[in-house]
Structure formats: structure tokens, C-alpha cells
């Protein structure tokens, strides 16, 4: 069986942009390596998630890895939690949180508590709180973020958020989103927990210090993305492949861990435009000795597009291509290059346009496509496929 190196260039697909001669950043970029792989391999377009859904990176990745979203997707919260290295258990409910600033009427003054740099000394005071047999585990994440896990049984992820997502509005109460006793129970104990947390945060001496320094106090917890943790088969269980994940940003490490992949940390892999892409590809090449399936995530084309920076996105794509030189000697392994979604610079957000994909290994029967672009891949022999049809295709080729 051939091994697979699966490269996801986040948000690489785009639409024509006037400042780039009406080309997409991928068309405008010089990408000799990707073009060579497209030329010698096969190409196509992938409709990663259904057009009606917003193509969030997490659901898009799960779809590309062949997981049925209806059955296995359990929300953004759990992905964030495993992304910081916390273990989840089936039946947990996980949230992503911000520390925020509210006034005495619980009206939001700042959703990120003045972009506070760490939540550790605030949240550790109520980590482990127990309410009606449920434990509330809260851990710091990056900057003003934290993650919250409810553990204890009888819980539901069908609970609304308390974040009104706007300054000047009062925080919301948690509400059950269905009639089940689990949802009603979870909403009730979340409201109770939030009240306790607010009272503890208000009294934290660090907040008094912050106020004296003219900073905003971190006195409220906003919780979003509740997810009930389901049992998800690992890539090993699903495909019999030993899998690893090479990613800079937390969300993608979380996706990897949720699907049972080993995390390989690479020095210099930051998830930012200055990330060391070559180091990631070298680590991936090395990982092929030990693993059957190597997932490499490259983030920044997406973030640059969200800033509307078309030239920056094009330049970053050229850097990906240059770094790819270290993979060009691979012969037996299948190389896949695709994206989780498009991020058109003019929209500054994800779109559900299909993404280009290329598949190459030495000996594959090439199609007529010569370049790796959105337009060229439309004519590839793979055609237009759905996200969850890509893995079966690769497994067939791997045999």
C-alpha cells in the first residue's frame, strides 16, 4: 500500500482579482513545483462541504478526511479543547471561551477584556468547580481565550451561547436548544456556573490591579461552540493507516488529535505568514518513514485573504511552492495538495466554491492538466467530487 502525504493549504482557492490582472492569487503566483505535480498527476475540483453550509475549517477538514459530518462532527468546542492538549471523554460537553469585561448591569464593554494576554491566573480559581455532580474543567488557551469542559453524564451540547457578539449588549443566558432533559439540565448548570465564575472573577485581586492601571478587568466568561463529544473512529480504525499531523495553529492540531493522529511538533511552524514551511515539509518527509498517512496543514494563505491582502496571499503561495522542492524527489508516496475551502480576498471570508486538488505519485496515469489553478483543475480527470469522496479515491490509488 502506498503512503499518503496530504497537504492542505488553508483557503488557497480564490476568485479573479483586478489588481492581479483578473487572475486568482494561485494563477498569478509562480508555482513550478505544484505545476509539475499537476502536469504529471491527476487533478480535479472538490466541493468540500455542501453549498448551504458555511465552510468552517473544522468541518471542511473532517469532510476531506472522509468523515460523515452528520455522524461525527461535534462542534468547534471539542476541537479547541483537544488542540491545547486536553483529553476528552465520550459524553463531555466542551466549549471555547473568552474572558471579557462587563459592567455592573452585565453589559459588555469588551469581548476580550482588553485583549488580556493570559487567562491562567483568572480561570484556575474556579477550575474543578462541581455543580450537581458535574465537574467544570477550565484551562487557559492562547491570550484571552480559554476552554471549558463539563464532565459528569446527562449532558447535552444543544445549548445556546451566552455571547451576544457585540459591545454594548447585555450578556445572554444559556438556553436549551431542544426539549431534552439533558439540554435543560446543561443550560441550567451553565447559568449557575457563570454566575459563580463572575463572582469569583470580580474579586480577583489582579482585576483591582488592572483597574488601577487603567486597564479593563477580566470579569466575565463568554462561551461559544458547545459540542457534545461523540466517539470518532481514528484514521487507524477507519483506514488502517498510522497517521500523524503537522500543523502550526491550534485548531488543526485539534482536528488531528480528534481523529487519532500523532502530533509532530516542528520548530518554526507558527501558523503565521512567517512560518517555516520548508521545516514542515522536511518533517513530513521524515514522518513518512514511520507513518502511512501524513497530514500537513499550511495556514497563512487563508489569514492573508481574510485581510484582503491578495499580493500577500500570492507571495505566500509562492513560498509554499518553493518549500515544496524538498518533496519533489518522492516517488512511491502519493502526494495530495488541496484546500479546505476557498477564501476569496474580495470577500475576506471563506466561500463554498469548490477547491482545486491534485494527486500525484510516480507512475500515475496523468491527465491533460498542466497547471495547478482553480481554472485548470476544472478540466482534470478527477472531475468535480465531494469532500468525502476524496479519501476513497486515494485509498483506491494507494492499493
Q: Judged by CB under 5 A, which stretch of 154-162, 187-195, 200-208, 295-303 contacts Zn ion?
A: 295-303
Dist. CA 361–CA 369, nearest whole Å:
15
Shortest distance in whole angstroms from residue 61 CB to Zn ion: 8
Query: Is residue 10 at the binding interface for Zn ion, with CB under 5 A as the rule?
Result: yes
Dist. CA 230–CA 16, nearest whole Å:
40
The site that binds Zn ion (CB under 5 A) totals a number of residues, namely: 4
Shortest distance in whole angstroms from residue 197 CB to Zn ion: 31
| Closer residue to Zn ion (CB): 161 or 340 | 340
Shortest distance in whole angstroms from residue 339 CB to Zn ion: 7
Q: Looking at 31, 39, 43, 57, which residue binds Zn ion (CB under 5 A)?
A: 57
| Closer residue to Zn ion (CB): 217 or 344 | 344
Count Cβ atoms within 10 A of the Cβ of residue 153 and give its class: 0-12 exposed, 13-18 middle, 19 or more buried.
exposed
Q: Looking at 27, 92, 340, 376, which residue binds Zn ion (CB under 5 A)?
A: 340
Shortest distance in whole angstroms from residue 56 CB to Zn ion: 8
Query: Is residue 35 at the binding interface for Zn ion, with CB under 5 A as the rule?
Result: no
Q: Where are the beta strands (DSSP E) in 33-92?
A: 42-47
Shortest distance in whole angstroms from residue 214 CB to Zn ion: 37
Contact 246, 266 (CB under 8 A): yes
Shortest distance in whole angstroms from residue 341 CB to Zn ion: 6
Shortest distance in whole angstroms from residue 246 CB to Zn ion: 16
Query: Is residue 58 at the binding interface for Zn ion, with CB under 5 A as the rule?
Result: no
| Closer residue to Zn ion (CB): 56 or 157 | 56
Which position's Cβ is nearest Zn ion? 57
Shortest distance in whole angstroms from residue 57 CB to Zn ion: 3
| Closer residue to Zn ion (CB): 55 or 227 | 55
Sheet strands side by side (includes 262-263) = 262-263, 243-246, 293-298, 4-9, 334-338, 355-360, 42-47, 383-386
| Closer residue to Zn ion (CB): 301 or 323 | 301
Dist. CA 370–CA 363, nearest whole Å:
16
- Output phi, psi for 251, to 5 deg: -55, -40
Q: Judged by CB under 5 A, which stretch of 4-12, 142-150, 192-200, 210-218 contacts Zn ion?
A: 4-12
**Residue with C-alpha cell 473532517?**
62
In the window 302-331, what residues touch Zn ion (CB under 5 A)?
302
Number of C-beta neighbours around residue 267 at 10 A: 8
Nine-digit cell string for 34 = 505544484
Q: What is the dihedral of CA 315, 143, 244, 283, to 10 degrees?
A: 50
In the window 115-174, what residues touch Zn ion (CB under 5 A)?
none
| Closer residue to Zn ion (CB): 28 or 303 | 303
Sign of CA dihedral 323, 328, 329, 335: positive
In the window 380-399, what residues touch Zn ion (CB under 5 A)?
none
CA 325 from chain centre, in angstroms, equals 26
Dist. CA 15–CA 174, nearest whole Å:
39
Binding site for Zn ion (CB under 5 A): 10, 57, 302, 340
Amino acid at each position: 500500500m502506498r503512503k499518503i502525504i496530504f497537504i492542505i493549504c488553508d483557503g488557497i482557492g480564490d476568485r479573479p482579482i483586478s489588481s492581479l490582472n483578473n487572475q486568482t492569487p494561485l494563477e498569478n503566483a509562480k508555482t513550478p513545483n505544484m505545476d509539475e505535480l499537476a502536469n504529471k498527476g491527476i487533478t480535479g475540483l472538490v466541493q468540500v462541504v455542501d453549498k448551504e453550509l458555511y465552510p468552517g475549517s473544522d468541518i471542511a477538514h473532517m469532510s476531506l478526511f472522509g468523515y460523515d459530518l452528520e455522524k461525527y462532527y461535534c462542534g468547534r468546542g471539542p476541537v479547541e479543547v483537544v488542540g491545547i492538549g486536553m483529553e476528552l471523554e465520550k459524553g463531555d460537553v466542551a466549549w471555547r471561551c473568552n474572558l471579557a469585561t462587563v459592567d455592573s448591569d452585565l453589559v459588555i464593554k469588551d469581548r476580550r477584556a482588553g485583549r488580556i494576554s493570559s487567562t491562567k491566573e483568572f480561570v484556575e480559581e474556579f477550575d474543578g468547580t462541581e455543580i450537581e455532580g458535574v465537574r467544570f474543567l477550565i484551562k487557559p488557551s492562547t491570550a484571552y481565550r480559554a476552554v471549558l469542559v463539563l464532565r459528569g453524564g446527562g449532558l447535552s451540547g444543544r445549548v445556546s451561547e451566552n455571547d451576544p457578539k457585540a459591545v454594548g449588549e447585555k450578556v445572554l443566558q444559556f438556553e436549551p436548544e431542544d426539549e431534552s432533559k439533558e439540554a435543560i439540565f446543561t443550560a441550567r448548570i451553565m447559568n449557575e456556573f457563570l454566575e459563580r465564575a463572575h463572582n469569583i472573577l470580580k474579586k480577583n485581586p489582579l482585576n483591582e490591579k488592572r483597574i488601577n492601571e487603567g486597564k479593563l478587568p477580566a470579569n466575565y466568561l463568554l462561551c461559544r461552540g458547545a459540542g457534545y463529544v461523540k466517539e470518532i473512529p481514528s484514521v487507524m480504525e477507519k483506514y488502517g493507516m498510522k497517521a500523524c499531523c503537522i500543523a502550526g495553529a491550534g485548531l488543526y492540531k485539534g482536528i488531528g488529535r480528534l481523529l487519532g493522529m500523532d502530533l509532530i511538533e516542528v520548530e518554526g511552524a507558527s501558523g503565521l505568514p512567517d512560518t517555516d514551511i520548508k521545516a514542515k515539509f522536511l518533517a513530513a518527509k521524515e514522518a513518512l518513514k514511520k507513518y502511512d498517512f501524513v497530514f500537513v496543514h499550511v495556514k497563512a494563505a487563508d489569514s492573508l485573504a481574510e485581510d484582503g491582502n491578495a499580493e500577500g496571499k500570492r507571495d505566500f503561495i509562492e513560498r509554499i511552492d518553493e518549500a515544496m522542492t524538498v518533496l519533489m524527489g518522492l516517488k512511491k508516496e502519493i502526494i495530495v495538495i488541496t484546500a479546505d475551502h476557498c477564501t476569496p480576498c474580495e470577500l475576506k471570508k471563506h466561500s463554498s466554491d469548490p477547491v482545486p486538488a491534485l494527486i500525484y505519485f510516480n507512475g500515475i496515469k496523468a491527465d491533460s492538466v498542466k497547471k495547478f489553478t482553480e481554472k485548470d483543475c476544472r478540466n482534470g480527470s478527477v472531475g468535480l467530487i465531494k469532500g468525502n469522496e476524496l479519501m476513497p479515491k486515494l485509498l483506491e490509488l494507494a492499493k
